Each structure stands twice: as C-alpha cells, then as structure tokens.
C-alpha cells in the first residue's frame, strides 16, 4: 500500500549469491526449500533469479555469540561469516526436501535452550544454513 514504506529506512533485504553451481543452487532453494521465483533473467547476459524468501531480518553476532550458536547447533565453531537461518513450518519435511536436492547434513536437529528445534545443513555451494522450527504452544 502507498505510504506503508515511506518511514522505513530499509524496505527490502536482498542477498545476492554468486553460485558455483547455478542449477544446483536453484534446485536447492526452489525445489528443496520450496521458494517461489519472483523474477528471472535470460541466459544471454548470464542467468539470475530472484526468489521470495518471505520476511527478512539481519542478525549481527560478535564472535562469542557466533561460537555459542555453532556450539548449540553443531557442537563446535564452524560456520563462516555468513549463515542463513530460515524458519520453517515443518523441520523434518524441509530437511528431507533439501537433502534430496543437494544439501549436506552438518548436524541433525537439536532442541535449543529457548525451545526451538534447529538443524544445520550446507547448500551445494558450501553456505551453512540453519533450519529452525519455533516451539509451538503444545511443545
């Protein structure tokens, strides 16, 4: 709606990934995670696709917090400077789809101290991805 974004300092977050394996990465995020294509560019100038990832947030950690999260999710410090953390409605289903579409399991699901269930995967280009399912009222 007009006026809705006028007072916001940032309207949209876009993360631009340059893929080593374009088809593999598109399959991972589209087929594996179920993201929908918003826009696509033809191959003549190079291929690109914009995917709808829903609402975006930017998390900034210091090294100690990054280490704490890695320790909770994987048992050791191993993620790089950038790691996706994606909330999914069904962690098991999301993991199965991603593993069938090129993901590597870094660590199986763990329950965090705040009650969410997190799993760590790696996309086909090596970017670490945390999938998390928020604890429900009956959990």
Per-residue pLDDT tens over the stretch 65-108: 999 999 999 999 999 999 999 999 999 999 999 999 999 999 99
- How distant, in Å, are the alpha carbons of 32, 41, 73, 109, 136 from that of 117? 19, 36, 9, 6, 10
Q: Tell me how many domains the chain contains.
A: 1
| Domain hosting residue 33, numbered range | 22-133
Greatest distance between any 2 Cα atoms in the chain: 52
Task: Check pLDDT > 70 for residue 5.
Answer: no
Is residue 50, in this structure, part of any structural domain at all?
yes
Rounded to two decimals, the pTM is 0.85
Does residue 110 lie within any of the structural domains?
yes
Tell me the pLDDT tens digit for each residue of 25-70: 999 999 999 999 999 988 888 999 999 999 998 899 999 999 999 9
Give the pLDDT of residue 4.
64
What is the pLDDT at residue 2?
A: 55
Find the CATH number of the domain harbouring 35. Answer: 3.10.180.10
Residues in the chain: 139
Asked whether residue 138 is domain-assigned, the answer is no
Q: Is residue 139 assigned to a domain? A: no
Long-range contacts of 8-13, Cβ-Cβ distance < 8 Å, separation of 24 or more: 12/56, 13/56, 13/57, 13/58
pLDDT at 13 over 90: no
Asked if the model's pLDDT at residue 139 lies above 50, the reply is: no
């Amino acid at each position: 709606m007009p006026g809705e974004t006028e007072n916001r300092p940032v309207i949209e977050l876009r993360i631009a990934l340059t893929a080593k394996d374009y088809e593999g990465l598109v399959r991972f995020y589209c087929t594996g995670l179920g993201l929908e294509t918003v826009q696509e560019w033809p191959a003549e100038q190079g291929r690109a696709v914009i995917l709808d990832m829903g609402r975006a947030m930017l998390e900034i950690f210091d090294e100690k917090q990054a280490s704490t999260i890695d320790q909770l999710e994987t048992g050791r410090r191993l993620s790089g400077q950038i790691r996706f953390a994606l909330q999914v409605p069904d962690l098991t289903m999301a993991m199965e789809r991603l593993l069938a579409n090129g993901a590597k399991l870094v660590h199986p699901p763990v329950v965090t101290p705040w009650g969410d269930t997190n799993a760590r995967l790696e996309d086909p280009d090596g970017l670490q991805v945390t999938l998390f399912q928020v604890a429900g009222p009956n959990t």
